[in-house]
Amino acid sequence: MLARVAAWRRVWQGVSVSTPPAGQLAVPSLHRAARIEDAVHRLVERRLRRTGWQTNIVAYTGYGGPGWVRVMCRVLLGRADNRKKGRLEKVRGWRSFATLPAKRVTVTIEAGGVRHEACADRSGFVNTVVEADLPPGWGSVRLSMADAEPVEAPVRILDPQVRFGILSDIDDTVMVTALPRPLLAAWNTFVLDEHARNAVPGMAVLYERLVTAHPGAPVFYLSTGAWNVAPTLTRFLSRHLYPAGPLLLTDWGPTHDRWFRSGKEHKRATLARLASEFPDVKWLLVGDDGQHDQEIYREFAAAHPANVAGVAIRRLSPTQSVLAGTLPAPLAGQESSSGPVGQKWLSAPDGAGLWKLLRQAGLV
């Protein structure tokens, strides 16, 4: 009993519970918050499994190129009688976050007739690249486990001839969320019904026109939002007729080295990864001036000028900017300008305005 109390005390103090080898200093492998979260999850998981809860796989849309595919999914615990139920038509936001991950479990991936195995991380996520020869366009990979129903994960395979792609922010770019306003953002995320969320005017039409003008162009949706809301976002994008595409989201809660994840670092790392995975693709970067999109896109354009076709910023109104807790951005008074290395930077309040500027700039 005393040993258990001492172990918990070391957890709270941020000291690793494991005993280091002789002659070595004890170095924490996880942040204190992450270890506390893991301990709570282990306790809850044991109780839920005793009541019959089982594992299930939540598949996310992946992507790839010739010879490879990135597979993304999450393994969660759920009631056995809910595993075969259809999608909920209305989902309150808090339900997306009331989940329990199945940690360190093995998922079997069948892609292009080849089987691979991947291990979920401490949050139940699988984000891995496997070898697979899939034809360009939309396809699927099969995900399975010993004690879970197999699922099909859609994947978008880029044609090697594609040279143009669209990378879009989500919050206040395609969906009005007022994310910078903490109280309203919490209401929208945890309480509001997903059908009450509004789309930014004209953005869905803009994206459809872009993919029509550039056959085969992929659309990726990059956000600092948590993977917990991926099913909700997918339904929202489909309901408002946005082109289908992979969601590039991030984890929720403590990480291995901090209390909270860094949304800005997530966007920076994802942009750099896409530039490495698709070196011949020029991206139209779409965002808004309510957060850090302009700063992040400017950094990426300076570091990877060959991978940026242009930057399109959805401009918030002065009132929206003030309510969001930001001052009007430098682009707010101009419709077109040049980026750090000559790329076209365009700014308009909606999709119709951006489409007009894109045509004038020769990006369509």
CATH classification code of 54-157: 2.60.40
Quote the pLDDT of residue 27. 40
pLDDT digits (tens, 9 = 90+) for 267-298: 999 999 999 999 999 999 999 988 789 999 99
pLDDT at 199: 92
- pLDDT tens for 156-202 read 999 999 999 999 999 889 988 755 555 555 555 555 566 767 899 99
Q: Are 76 and 124 in contact (CB under 8 A)?
A: yes
Contacts of 197 (CB under 8 A, 6+ apart): 175, 176, 177, 188, 236
Q: 312: which 2 tokens?
A: 């399109």
Domain ranges (residues) in the chain: 2-50, 54-157, 164-360
pLDDT at position 272: 97
| Beta partners for residue 171, in sequence order | 175
Work out the pLDDT band at 117, boundaries 50, 70, 90: very high
Residues of 139-150 as b/e, b for ≥16 C-beta within 10 angstroms?
A: bbbebebeebee
- Average pLDDT on 315-323 reads 64
Q: Residue 227's pLDDT band (boundaries 50, 70, 90)?
A: confident
Judged against a pLDDT cut of 60, whether residue 260 lies above it is answered with no
pLDDT at 352: 96
Q: What is the mean pLDDT of residues 94-122?
A: 83
Give the mean pLDDT of the chain. Answer: 78
Average pLDDT over residues 307-313: 97
Tell me the pTM.
Answer: 0.79
pLDDT for residue 6 is more than 70: no
User: So what CATH class is 164-360?
Assistant: alpha beta
What per-residue confidence (pLDDT) applies to 30?
54
Over the stretch 34-72, which tens digit does the pLDDT of each residue have?
A: 555 555 555 555 565 566 577 889 999 999 999 999 999
Half-sphere exposure of 285 (CA within 13 A, CB side): 30
**Long-range contacts of the stretch 206-211 (C-beta < 8 A, 24+):** 206/351, 206/352, 206/354, 206/355, 206/358, 207/166, 207/168, 207/242, 207/243, 207/351, 208/241, 208/243, 209/355, 209/364, 210/166, 210/284, 210/358, 210/364, 211/166, 211/243
